[in-house]
Amino acid sequence: MVLWIGVGGSVSLLPGVLLCRRGVVAVASASLGALRLEEKEKLERVAQDVTKTLDRDIPEAMLPQLKYLIGIGARAEDLSKVAIREILPHKGSDGYRKILHRPDLLRSRVGFYQGEFGVKGESIGKMIVRSVNSLFILQDAKVQDKIRLLYGLGMDKRGVSRLLVRSPSFFSLKTETLETKIGSLRRALSDICEHVDQNALLLKILELRPQVLSRKSEKVTDLLEGLVSYGFAKEEVVQMILKNPSILGYDLRSMEEKLKVLEGNAFQKEQVIAFMASSPKLFDLSVENNFKPTLGFFLGTGWTIEDLCRFPQVLNYSLSKRIRPRHDYIRRKEPNYETAGRYQWIVLSDSDFAKRFGREVEER
């Protein structure tokens, strides 16, 4: 069995031939071994992406490494980006390590991360896309102090691996700088952590949103004080952070803008607080593009403020791609079906929506 990759719209695995855009290149079966159907499809996807982007074929030497990464669960779309970057390095990538050209090194590094930190294959792919150098970070002697710092805070190996996948650049900071930034964040959080485990909150933030460390502690303090001053209880602020640590990266003005939109639509202050505290991911929405028009749609189609306070998460769905199309279809299909105050028709998957209302729509 020889792998043939046909480019220009037809990529296939056929016995005996590898069809390539610039000719026929045979790849010995011994170099790849047996390929499962799913692996074949992913490898073909990578080959198509590379040819479409670069107008050239994947170097034969890369194929075994791509097959290996696919075999451990890396996504095809991530591997396409890695392959393209290695074939045609981008500007400013002089220090880039070509991991797909070094099979022994790749396997040893992946094995280290999987064995020591339990990093899964899909996450390995994401790490390499963000920075291939992240594969080499934790073995660097200079990083061991940072790992000990995290362990000292109570973070386990799983937490370290999550942090590495989410933000490899975290480990490029000097240990002294990290200690200072973590100390500043701890002090900023201290005032709202009267009845909660401050260290647990700090670890959650570091694992899920380490970019918060780049903010000045004064800005974080101003934000937290502003939320409490508005009327949010300190315990509510803590729970909001646990649900959505990214709110610590916003300035108070942008958050107040959403609160004012609710007030402008006749929400009482206690309703505003309950609404946003229940679903703090709403702070991530653009006021003009998402938050305001979606809120207006619900209020304009019979939803009451009380309805929205019970189901605030409905504002997270796309108005143009899910909410409005489904609403309009239901109105035509079942005019007696009351959509106001009922969230099921919004949160149903495409297949369940099709079963209930007899129409498949694109899931969003």
Distance from C-alpha of 233 to C-alpha of 321, rounded to nearest angstrom: 35
Mean pLDDT for the chain?
Answer: 84
In the predicted structure, residue 361 carries a pLDDT above the cut 50: no
Q: Give the DSSP letter of residue 43.
A: H
- Total residues found in the chain within this entry: 364
User: In this predicted structure, what is the pLDDT of residue 223?
Assistant: 94
- The SS3 assignment for 36 reads coil
| pLDDT tens track for 105-156 | 889 888 888 887 788 889 888 888 887 777 777 666 677 888 889 999 999 8
Is the pLDDT assigned to residue 334 strictly greater than 50?
yes
Neighbour count for residue 307 (Cβ, 10 Å): 17
Diameter over CA atoms, the chain: 72
- At 45 the pLDDT is 93
Residue range 259-315, pLDDT digits in tens: 999 999 999 999 999 999 999 999 999 999 999 999 999 999 999 999 999 999 999
Tell me the Cα Rg of the chain.
Answer: 25
The reported pTM is 0.71
Distance CA 326, CA 337 (A): 12
Contact 262, 294 (CB under 8 A): no
What pLDDT is recorded for position 316? Answer: 96
* Contact status, residue 60 vs residue 70, Cβ threshold 8 Å: no
- Does residue 207 carry a pLDDT above 60? yes
Answer yes or no: are the C-beta atoms of 6 and 48 closer than 8 Å. no
> Residue 235 corresponds to which tokens in the numbers above?
């315990």
Tell me what percent of the residues of the chain surpass a pLDDT of 90. Answer: 50
Contact (Cβ atoms closer than 8 angstroms) between residue 244 and residue 258: no
Domain ranges within the chain, ordered by starting residue: 1-136, 139-249
Q: What percent of the chain has pLDDT over 70?
A: 85
Which pLDDT value is given to residue 90? Answer: 57
Span 3-14, average pLDDT: 40
Rounded to whole angstroms, what are the CA distances from 293 to 11, 19, 261, 339?
44, 51, 11, 18
Is a pLDDT exceeding 80 seen at residue 344?
yes
pLDDT higher at 26 or 251: 251
Lowest mean pLDDT among 185-194, 253-262, 321-330: 185-194
Q: Tell me the average pLDDT across 166-178.
A: 84
Q: How far apart are CA 339 and CA 91, in angstroms?
A: 52
Contact yes or no for 119/165 (Cβ under 8 A) = yes
pLDDT at 24 (0 to 100): 28
CA distance 53 to 21: 13
Average pLDDT of the segment spanning 1-25: 39
Burial of 324 (0-12, 13-18, 19+ CB in 10 A): middle
Angle formed at CA 359 by CA 357 and CA 364, multiple of 5 degrees: 100
Given a cut of 70, whether residue 92 has pLDDT beyond it is: no
* Three-state secondary structure call for residue 14: strand
**What does the alpha-carbon distance between residue 290 and residue 283 come to, in Å, rounded to a whole number?**
11
281 versus 192: which is more confidently predicted?
A: 281
pLDDT score recorded for residue 94: 46
What CATH number labels 139-249?
Answer: 1.25.70.10
Residue 18's pLDDT is 40
Query: Is-contact 241 209, C-beta < 8 A?
Result: no
Distance CA 265, CA 248 (A): 26
Amino acid at 270: E
Which tokens go with 81?
A: 């980006």
Per-residue pLDDT tens digits for 224-236: 999 999 999 999 9
Question: How would DSSP label each residue in 185-225?
Answer: HHHHHHTT-SSS-HHHHHHHHHHH-GGGGGS-HHHHHHHHH
Inter-residue contact 34 to 58 (CB < 8 Å): no
User: Do the Cβ atoms of 134 and 127 come closer than 8 Å?
Assistant: yes
